[in-house]
Structures are given as structure tokens and as C-alpha cells.
Amino acid sequence: MKSHSVSSSLHLTDVQQPDESGLNQRTDAGLRTWKISSWLCRWPGELLALLSGAALALAFAPFDLWPLAVVLPAVLFFLWLGVPPRRAGWRGYLFGLGLFSVGASWLFVAIYVYGNTSAPAAVFLTGLFVAFLALFTGLQGYISGLLAVRLGNSVRARALSLLLAWPCLWVLFEWLRGWVLTGYPWLNLGYSQISSPLAGLASVFGIYGVSLAVAGSAGLLLFILMSQGRIRGFGLVVLALIWLGSGLLGRLEWTRPVGEPISVALVQGNVPQITKWQPGALEERLKVYRQLTRQSWDAQLIIWPENSVTVFYHQLADSYFEPLRQEAREHGSELLIGMPYEEPDASRYYSSFVSLGPDVKVYHKRHLVPFGEYVPLESWLRGLFGFFDLPLSGFSPGGNDQLPLTVFGHPISVSICYEDAFGEEVIDFLPAARFLVNGSNNAWYGDSLAPHQHFQISRMRALETGRPLLRVTTNGISAFVDHHGRIMARSVQFQREVLRGEVQPREGATPYVRFGNWPVLLVLFCVIGVVLLASRSRVTSDE
């Protein structure tokens, strides 16, 4: 049997002229055409992986340097070439550590500032969360390196890794991260592209399709830089076609207007989060939202954000909400209000949206936030940290068989805060729903990256579904977003205001609404399966 090994260093002297096709040949594990100093093959390579991951956070909101989402994964792919699987895994882990340390740093704010937890404990919990998330990129790197070893050292094998295997593995691990332990799909590559031509893929293939195009572009970019002659030209043409085709796809109209526009008022109360659980502050909170609502009776639909009221609906149903509902009916308005809702027998309670229209109807949040809205392993973790003992941290999830809420005869798709990070769940109410509503309490995260990142995620849901989005938050960012994910109006953060505008209901279905994530998942598993078969046949032929 022939032995297969991967060199841990790439040498300047290991160079050969290109062959007639423009492909550069390599006779051992070192890359013959990629001139790299040996210092990158050990700890400087690890440092570059860490820094590249940290810099990738700049590709997302509020910085929106979206080209970095192509360049920096290409750097990581480069650092995986010609190194053993364990080193590729370690570099992948460091890359993830950098990305989530910066991109998810807002978790510290929630735990320390508003979570009744000491600074050292908040640092520990945030670090533990980041270290867990980095495991996904670490395992991705290890498997990528393992596949590269099995495929061998030829240029064609390198192309198979860069153009197919590694981009597909990237997206597969994004999907796994969005599913394991209820999921954390934050900072997926595709979200950074909401303003780039690749966003045109979202209505057809969803967020994972956009991520696949970004990761594929990264692999293709590196392959082009490492190629010469006709192969380089061919790679440039393919890259151009991906980006131009995506841009043209984004111009297609998958949905159409139905009915008349509805005038809307989004009520951003900007009541301090620190007063949320103070009994004496409830009256002031109710007063603020009632006053802002009474100033908005000229709007047909008035929406309050998630947990704008911090007591159960039934506690104020007769004394506060019923008079307000009657007042709204007199002015031809309907209300959507985010608040906790308890079952009549007090057996469970939910984070909910209550529709105060001709009838009172309720939507219960289905996808809860671990440790924030419920505590896994509750009997073990309660009491360890203040963050695990917050009031109302024992919500129950709503059922998946709920019917969509209806306003002015139009069914709508409501998501509460974190729920809109899961596109496959938002489309459960489509194509029946005519527009999207998201209510969030972003006050948990203060002046951090989270509100901007979350708004970017929300805009992607509008683009995927071909539906306009009404987004209302406690202290910003509230916004009107059209069916192409474009911002029509937005509020100022940390300011009390009522954002006014119109929403045009739409009907029809984008391909993503019809098929969800299945087409992309099918591509991922098929490509990875083919690569595994190719690697196995190569090993068998060499035995």
C-alpha cells in the first residue's frame, strides 16, 4: 500500500512551471505554485486564523463590509491547504473563536448589565458560549482536512476541495449550528450579503443558498489565485456568472400586491430595560404605551413590541386592554401587542402577541431562547447564576398547529424576537400570510452589535418570502422593510417614537416558501457524498 502523508510546511523552493492547460502540478504535499513562507505553517498561521475570524464580524451589520465574507473564508481555506487534519481543525476552531468572540460579544451585555450576574461570571458564561460555537468551525476544519488527505495531492483534488467539498461543509455546519440544541443561526455568512448581488439568491434558496454562494466564491477566489492560463480565466468567468446571475435573479418578482395598503404605527416605547421587573414602574410603562397609541389613532394597525407589557394579559384584560380595544374600534384601528400570556388554569405561560381587533386572538412564541426564556436542566442550573433566575424565565413553547393571526382580513406571519432567525419556521404561515410582523425586545443588548445584526437577519426573512416586514422593538431598531428586504423607514435607537408608514399586503410564493431549505440540503449531501466516494475510490486504487 502506498503511504499518504500531508506536509506541515509549504516551501518557497517547491515550484514548477504550469502545464499546457494552465494547471500547476504538484508532486508532493507542498503546493508547488503557492509561494508561502514557512512561518505561516505554525503559530503565525494559527494567529492569522484567529484574526481572520475576528475580522469576519466586520462583514455583518453595523459595519456591512460584505466583501470580507468572501475574502476571509478564502484565507481560512488557504490556511487549511497542506496541513494535517488536526491542524486544520485547530485553525478552524481559532477562526470560530475569533468570529464569535467579536460577533457575539453582545451576550456579555445581556448577562452582566441586565441579567443580575457579576462581571466575572458574565465573562465566564459568554466565553463558554463562544468556545462551544467555535467547536462547529473546528470540526468543520478537521473534516475538511481529512477529506483533503483522502483526495490526495493533485491539482484536481485541490479543486475538488476548494470548489465543492469545503464550501458545502461550511454551509452544512452552519445548518447544524442552526439546529443543534435548538439552534443558533446567528452570523451565517449569507446574512452579510443582504446588500450585495448574492442576496438575489435568497428568494430561491434561502439563507443557506446565499451562504453556499459566499463560501463557493471564497473557494473559487483562492483557486483562481493559485491557477494560471485558461484555468484562471475559466474561474473568473464562473465567479462573474455567480454574482451577475444572482443579481439578475434578485430582480424577479415572485409575489404580487393584493388589496389596499394598510397604514401602520410602530410604537417604540423606549422604556428602560432595567425597570422591566420593578413593580412600581408598571404604571409608567402602561401610561407611555397608552399615550403613544392614542396619538396614533389615524393608523389602521398599531403594533407594540415584544413584552411591551410585563404582566400577564388576563391581569389587565378588563381594566386596561378592553377599554383600549373599544377605543381602537371607534377609530377604525386594530392593535397587536406583545406580552406574556398565562393559561386559565395557570399551568403554563407563553411569550405572546395578542391581537385586539374585532375579536381577541393570540399567537404564542414557538421557538424559545435557551437560558433566557427557559432554563435547560433547570433543577441543576437554577441558583448558580443570577441570569438563570430571572423572572418569567420558564416560558412554554407555543404549538406548531397555531393558525396565523389576521388583521383587516389579511393573515399575517408573526415572529417574536429570536424566532425570525429561523427562516424555515417563518414560512410555516406562508403562502397564506400577506406580510410579516416581528416584535422584539432588543433592550437586553444595549448599545451593542446585536440590534444591528438582528435587523439584518429580519430583512433576510422579507427577501426570502417576498413579503414586506413590519418590525417593532422596545428601543430600536424598528422599521418598515419592503418585499425585497430594502429599508423604507427606520427608527432612531434609544429614542421614544412612533414610526409611521404603510404596508402593502402581497400574495404568491417564492421558491423558498414552496420548498424551504430542502433543495440546498439535497445539494450539500449529494456533493459531500460524491466527494466521499471519490476519496474512497482513490484510496482503493492506491492499495
369-380 burial, b for 16+ CB within 10 Å, e for fewer? bebbbebeeeee
DSSP reduced 3-state for 362: strand
In what helix (H) or strand (E) does residue 268 lie, and over which residues does it extend? strand 262-268
Phi, then psi, of 323 in degrees rounded to 5: -60, -40
DSSP alpha helices (H): ranges in 421-493? 423-426, 450-465
Contact 237, 216 (CB under 8 A): no
Residue 119: other Cβ atoms inside 10 A: 11
Contact 476, 492 (CB under 8 A): yes
- Distance, CA of 311 to chain centre: 30
Beta bridge partners of 370: 374
Encoded amino acid at 179, one letter: W
Query: What single DSSP character describes residue 153?
Result: S
Q: Is 41 a catalytic residue?
A: no
Q: Is 365 a catalytic residue?
A: yes
Which residue out of 365, 373, 419, 424 is catalytically annotated? 365
CA pair distance 140, 149, nearest whole angstrom: 14
Contact 476, 496 (CB under 8 A): no
CA pair distance 137, 116, nearest whole angstrom: 31
Positive or negative, the Cα torsion across 364, 370, 374, 379? Answer: positive
Residue 523: other Cβ atoms inside 10 A: 16
CA pair distance 150, 165, nearest whole angstrom: 12
Which residue out of 306, 419, 424, 425 is catalytically annotated? 306
Which residue out of 276, 417, 419, 424 is catalytically annotated? 417
Q: Is 417 a catalytic residue?
A: yes
Encoded amino acid at 125, one letter: L
Residues annotated as catalytic (active site), given as ranges = 306, 365, 417
